[in-house]
Amino acid sequence: MVGDLLKGIPAEDYQLSWCQADVSVLESTAVSRFQLILWGSISDSHIARDILTELGRQQATAPIVMLVDEAPAGVDLEAVRKGESDVLLRSCLNSDILHRSIRRFARRSLEVPHLEPPTSDPLTGLSNRQDFREQLSRILADAETPESVGLLLIDVDQFKKVNASYGQGAGDALIQFIAERVRSSLSTHQRVARIGGNEFAVVFQNVMGSVESECRVSIERIIQSMSRPFPVAQHAIRINVSMGIAMNKDTGVTVDAMLAHADMAMRISKREKGCNYQFYSSDMTDAAQTILKLEAEIRRGIRSE
């Protein structure tokens, strides 16, 4: 609906990005690049709370406008109908009202001094996703030979169960412990970033020999550090991590391709119990594409019956 209304605004160029109400999706989104957030109705209060927490973690500064079916008590209905409120009624929404609301908040943002987007994760002090992507982009651009850059993704298994069982404070404490153990497992020239709620990333460069050998040595150290329980919420919690590694098979590989390959390898490593890792190979992509084609054929067969 919003996309169609934006098309009806003359002489203005707006870019709309859509994100489902899923905090795991929001974690992989650089919220700092948005100038306005339109928030649709979310019936689940826990999901709404988690999304607000993630917006806070990313230090989002963009104003939020709520799209609602009924105006909350105490809201100036006339201001809502004019698009001069933080709330917009769907029943009254049209291109003019949406345009007026966007321009109002655009003016407000111009009145606020420009601040550089944060480069560190406030919980762990590590680089955040946006800063990490920029670092990886520069490293890949400078890479002169294939397999001179390695990307390691680390995913904390069953992290949501910790939050559900012991509370968000315990989950935050666990992430801090894990960040410190991963950091202490790396060499001084290797940097770790927190790129998601329970996901970390490390870049390896051809500094001291074979990148693949460096990856394997550091991974074994990380696995060893995870073997000790974590003292969280007066409990000794044992945690496993799943890891995926991607190498720059050629010098023109992109950041998104490296992340996608490492993520695919990491998901395959999750199939095994305990702390595990997998190096990406093109066979993984071929297998995934085969599965997608098979699923598509099954769906077509079901629809034709």
The CATH number given to whatever domain includes residue 261 is 3.30.70.270
Sequence-ordered list of residues with C-beta below 8 angstroms from that of 302, at least 6 positions apart, any chain: none
The residue from 111, 140, 158 where one domain ends is 111
237 occurs within a structural domain: yes
Angle subtended at Cα 32 by Cα 98 and Cα 138, rounded to the nearest 5 degrees: 135
CATH number for the domain that contains residue 88: 3.40.50
* Cα–Cα nearest to 200, from 148, 249, 257, 245: 245
pLDDT at 194: 94
The number of folded domains in the chain is 2
Residues 143 and 91 in one domain: no
Q: Concatenated DSSP letters for 36-56? A: -EEE-----HHHHHHHHHHHH
- pLDDT by residue for the chain (305 residues), tens only, comes to 666 666 666 656 667 777 777 777 777 677 777 777 776 766 666 777 777 777 776 667 777 777 777 766 655 556 555 555 566 667 777 777 777 777 776 665 555 555 556 788 989 999 999 999 999 999 999 888 888 999 999 999 989 899 889 988 899 999 999 999 999 999 888 889 999 989 999 999 876 668 889 899 999 999 999 999 999 988 899 999 999 999 998 878 999 999 999 999 999 999 888 899 999 988 877 666 666 666 666 766 666 66
116 occurs within a structural domain: no
* Cα–Cα nearest to 194, from 103, 123, 295: 123
Residues 191 and 255 in one domain: yes
pTM, two decimal places: 0.61
122 occurs within a structural domain: no
Residues 137 and 86 in one domain: no
The residues pairing with 205 across neighbouring beta strands, listed in sequence order, are 149
94 occurs within a structural domain: yes
Domain boundaries, position 82: 2-111
Residues 137 and 282 in one domain: yes
Q: HSE on the CB side for 37, CA within 13 Å?
A: 19
φ and ψ at residue 221, rounded to 5 degrees: -65, -40
Residues 70 and 156 in one domain: no
44 occurs within a structural domain: yes
Residues 137 and 223 in one domain: yes
305 occurs within a structural domain: no
Q: How many CB atoms lie within 10 A of CB 224?
A: 12
301 occurs within a structural domain: no
Cα dist from 211 to 35, 112, 159, 188, 291, whole Å: 40, 45, 29, 15, 31
* Extended beta strands in 256-296, E state: 276-279
Q: What is the DSSP letter of 167?
A: -
The residue from 57, 84, 111 where one domain ends is 111
d(CA 158, CA 165): 11
d(CA 230, CA 242): 17
Residues 42 and 82 in one domain: yes
Q: How many CB atoms lie within 10 A of CB 86?
A: 14
Residues 33 and 85 in one domain: yes
273 occurs within a structural domain: yes
Residues 99 and 168 in one domain: no
Residues 94 and 153 in one domain: no
The residue from 85, 111, 137 where one domain ends is 111
Residues 140 and 208 in one domain: yes
* Cα–Cα nearest to 22, from 3, 6, 40: 40
**CB of 94 within 8 A of CB of 2?**
no
Burial-class residue 114 by CB neighbours within 10 Å (0-12, 13-18, 19+). exposed
Residues 284 and 135 in one domain: yes
